[in-house]
Amino acid sequence: MLARPRTIAGVSLVSHRAIIGPGERWMLCLCGSQVRIFSCSTGQLHSVLEETTEAADRLTALVFNPVNPHSQIYTATVSGSILLWDYEDGVLVKKVTSKYPLHGLYVPYRDRGLFLLSEHTERRSSVGSAKDLANRPEDESCALFQLDCIGDISKGSKGRLVCRSLSTDSTKVAFCSRGEYLASINHNSLNIYYFKDEHFKKHLISRNLFTCIAVHPTEQCIATGDTQGRILLWRNFQEAPTVSKTTVHWHSTAVLDIAFSLEGSYMWSGGWESTLVQWSLNNTDQKDFIPRLGAAIVRLSISYDGNIIAVSHSDGGITFISILIERTNSTLSIHS
């Protein structure tokens, strides 16, 4: 089933991951200063969320409110605002504004507040060898801050510093579903922050650069993609001497995104080949493919209920693929 909604010239629907809500009725995606809501069954545009004031700014984050995912989402703007929406009724519930630009927003847990990806104002130490400085990643201008509640922003708080030297790309941070750690990638470094004792571990790879990251929903496992088309599965990383890395390789160029199934049996990856690859984690030699999807796969999103993958393409299209019956449901062909 094919639908061709139009977008504002020059504004992409695939610059951020789409999200699909409980019941799999609606797909929500960012489009400039708007949240656009599409029907998962028809691909038709259903409604648009946007501030009615002239202050509406480019959105940089879109996540469900874990306390009420059936009707509420958070969005963030590049100028520093956080907005809580009732997307079923199309109502802006609350808006708070900080003094800091926001590049990402995460609300992975019901009881730990919000995590903000924002520019870090403290200057990094210049201590280090000339070689270290020359090899330092260019994009490490951001840090992650934790706020107990959205109201803290109104009080001028930036929150507690959790980790720094992060990219402005919010997809390069991933959270453990059990609340034990978060993981981030930058350049050739995988960094893992453990919440319980507030410490870091860093793991490096040689030659290649990381491109994407995903955390397994039930096991201690992190998947990272790199520029050479490899996917590394990291296990036992809490015990640094026994860290285990398994390499799986099908992509001929960079892996652009990775996602796990909700129960953790399968992993999907996409890249420039326009082919969705399904990996069985019980036997990574076993692979299935959905080829010829029309354009490079730049982002993968698993629905809240785990039955649909939203596959975002470099040409602006978004393909819905049913995980249960392994067929394409509908495609949104988005043209600027």
**Domains of the chain and any CATH numbers:** 2-121+139-332 (2.130.10.10)
Look at residue 156 in the predicted model and tell me its pLDDT. 67
Task: Give the mean model confidence (pLDDT) for residues 134-154.
Answer: 74
Per the CB < 8 A criterion, the answer to whether 298 and 310 are in contact is: no
Look at residue 98 in the predicted model and tell me its pLDDT. 85
Query: What residue type is 295 in one-letter code?
Result: A
Distances in Å between the alpha carbon of 113 and those of 19, 106, 268, 298, 312? 20, 9, 29, 29, 29
Please report which confidence band the pLDDT of residue 105 belongs to, taking 50, 70 and 90 as the band edges. very high
Look at residue 38 in the predicted model and tell me its pLDDT. 93
Look at residue 240 in the predicted model and tell me its pLDDT. 62
- DSSP letter for 125, please: P
Per the CB < 8 A criterion, the answer to whether 132 and 140 are in contact is: no
In whole angstroms, what is the distance from residue 268 CA to residue 266 CA? 7
Look at residue 329 in the predicted model and tell me its pLDDT. 52
Task: Give the mean model confidence (pLDDT) for residues 237-244.
Answer: 77
Residue 21 has pLDDT above 70, yes or no: yes
Task: Give the mean model confidence (pLDDT) for residues 66-89.
Answer: 95
Per the CB < 8 A criterion, the answer to whether 181 and 192 are in contact is: yes
Q: pLDDT per residue over 23-70, tens digit each?
A: 999 999 999 999 999 999 888 899 999 987 766 689 999 999 999 999
In whole angstroms, what is the distance from residue 118 CA to residue 229 CA? 30
The 3-state DSSP class for residue 201 equals strand
In whole angstroms, what is the distance from residue 169 CA to residue 185 CA? 10
Residue 145, judged by CB atoms within 10 A of its CB (0-12, 13-18, 19+), counts as buried
Q: Which residue has the tokens 């919000």?
A: 114
The pTM is what? Answer: 0.87
The 3-state DSSP class for residue 271 equals strand
Q: Where do the H-state alpha helices sit in 30-141?
A: 130-134
Q: Which residues of 38-64 are buried (b: 16+ CB within 10 A; e: fewer)?
A: bbbeebeebeebebeeeebeebbbbbb
